[in-house]
Structure 1
Amino acid sequence: MPTADKRSTARYRERNSTADRALDILGLFTSDKPSWSGAEIAAQLGVARSTGYRYLQSLVGRGFLEEAPHGFRLGPRIFELARVARVGVGLSEVSLPVMRALSEQVNETVLLTRRSGSSVVCLDLVEARRAVRLTYERGHVLPINAGAAAEVLLAWADPAEVAAVLSSAPLERFTAKTLTNPDDLRARLVQIRKRGVAVSQGELDEHILGVSAPIRDAVGSVCAAISVAALAMRVPRSELDALKIAVRNAAVDISRGLTLVDA
């Protein structure tokens, strides 16, 4: 006769098995197939229909599934959990996986920046294996008129804000390539908006090439920028177009993630 400990272990294993089956069922639902019949689910699990329906009824009872006209679909409890999962997920949390992937792809340092009035703040940074020495780091405040990230953020800012920023004080010069004439900078911003990406070289750090693209929030407004910072000598002109495409694609991926978070 089984001992109490053995019966308890058997019940524990059965609970684990049931939990695994429940997760397998929930994992079947996709945007391409949001509804499944009981027979289809049983076939996917490789169990008898009666066993499959037992799992389904348990999930329905707890609100994870609900019965639809032609089978079963995800229930209200799933949407509640999705809302909970989105709480506290911010720009950095959405951006960091994309930043790491981009850094791995191009083997260069990747930055996430946001404009704050007449300055730019570095929110996060992912260093490449062959890191470059930069004059800024996480939390560092950057000028508004130098570097690809700053110019991208200014390019899509409200024109009245741009006018106020450019007229508030003389623009600071950091290298011989820094734009300090407001009219020259406005002309640069027009070109950036047309191309969808900014490229700068030696405007803030003499030997640094920057490539930046805008990140958009759920309503389509530019809220941040993702940038690659590399030693200019490491990026041949023949590779620049590919780098611009990679940065733009990363910006699109982050923007898509922000849209899902705010949905």
Structure 2
Amino acid sequence: MSTAHQDPPVSGGLQVVARSAQILRMFDSERTEVRINDVAEELAIGRTSAHRYLQSLASEGFLQRINDSDYQLGPLIVGLAASMVGGPALLDIASPELERLAAALGQTAVLGIWSGSSAVAVACKEPPGKSVNMTVRIGAPLGPTSAQGMAFLAWGKPAAREKSLSRLNVDRDTIQAQLNSALANGYTASTAVIDGVEALAAPIFDSSEQMAGTLALVAPTGVLDSTPGSPHIKELLATAANLSTALGSTKAS
């Protein structure tokens, strides 16, 4: 006999808020993704209604759609978590360094963290005195082919790297060559995210020598010099090393 759930009548905005909260509470350190069928079962609603809730939460940045059925926490939640729970020290320490880096090189500096499945921008500083600047929206997801995403693939946890790579429709040998280059040089470079935009990124480590975030420069294509030893690279690596040292890492010592 069928046990399909029938949707109860909607009682207004409070029910929407309550159900959205129920969906968000489904996530924890062990459960980083949910499926439409999971939401329908746990909330005792129909699959169509579950899909609508997930789509609405994704459209506002609370969730991020992975494929037709799976969702993960979105950039808005991750950004808030970084600033309110997990990253006050990093954000506080990084803010003046981002300002200094942006002013020294005349380009936008961005701080990124790992959301569990992708990099996310949590702070952005633009250089002063310029009428036109590049900017990165706080909470914006930074895909695995971005400079920040590549940095997390290179220096992050192997399990997260394999999970991300398994979803990429790219040649694994090409990606591995890029990761090897990053590990050898200490930074990543990418022009793969938005046409006309390039970025350089370096890893930031904490006292446990785990990757705490990324420091990146973002500029129009052709502006940044990604050659090892260039002024852009030297300043980026030095600033990332300063941040790592401030967080208790000895990697830069």
> Equivalent residue for 1:132?
133
Matches within 5 A, 1:1-263: 89-129=88-128, 130=130, 131-134=132-135, 136-144=136-144, 146-167=145-166, 169-171=167-169, 180-200=170-190, 202-235=191-224, 241-259=230-248
Answer whether contact 1:118 1:143 (CA < 8 A) is retained. Answer: no
Give the TM-score normalised by structure 1.
0.56
CA contact 1:117–1:165 (8 Å) conserved in 2? no
Q: Kindly tell me: are residues 186 and 107 of structure 1, through their superposed partners in 2, closer, same or farther at Cα, counting changes over 3 Å? A: same
CA positional deviation for 1:149:
1.2
Change (3 A) 1:235 1:159: closer
Structure 1 stretches of 4+ moved >2 Å: 129-134, 158-161, 180-183, 232-240
Q: Distance in 2 between matches of 1:215 and 1:92?
A: 12
> In angstroms, what is the RMSD of aligned CA positions?
2.3
| Amino acid in structure 2 at the alignment position of 1:132 | N
- Gap regions ≥5 residues in structure 2: 1-86
Larger radius of gyration: 1
Provide the C-alpha distance between the structure 2 equivalents of 1:204 and 1:222, rounded to a whole number of angstroms.
Answer: 22
Q: 1:196 to 1:237 in 2, by over 3 A?
A: closer
Residue 241 of structure 1 and its aligned partner are, at CA, apart by 1.1
Report the TM-score, using the length of structure 2 for normalisation.
0.58
- Say which SS state the counterpart of residue 125 (structure 1) adopts: strand
Distance 1:232 1:166, change over 3 A: same
Structure 1, unpaired ranges of 5+ = 1-87, 172-179
Q: How many residue pairs were aligned?
A: 161
In structure 2, do the counterparts of structure 1 residues 164 and 237 end up closer, same or farther at CA, with 3 Å as the change threshold?
closer
1:234/1:116 CA distance change after superposition, 3 Å? same
Distance between the aligned counterparts of 1:195 and 1:239, measured in 2?
7
SS in 2 for 1:122: strand
* SS in structure 2 of the partner of residue 90 of structure 1: helix
Between the aligned partners of 2:195 and 2:229, the Cα distance in structure 1 is 18
Identity %: 22
What amino acid sits opposite 1:137 in the alignment? Answer: R
One-letter amino acid matched to 2:159 = A
Higher helix share: 1
Distance 1:235 1:121, change over 3 A: closer
**Partner AA of 2:179 in structure 1:** L
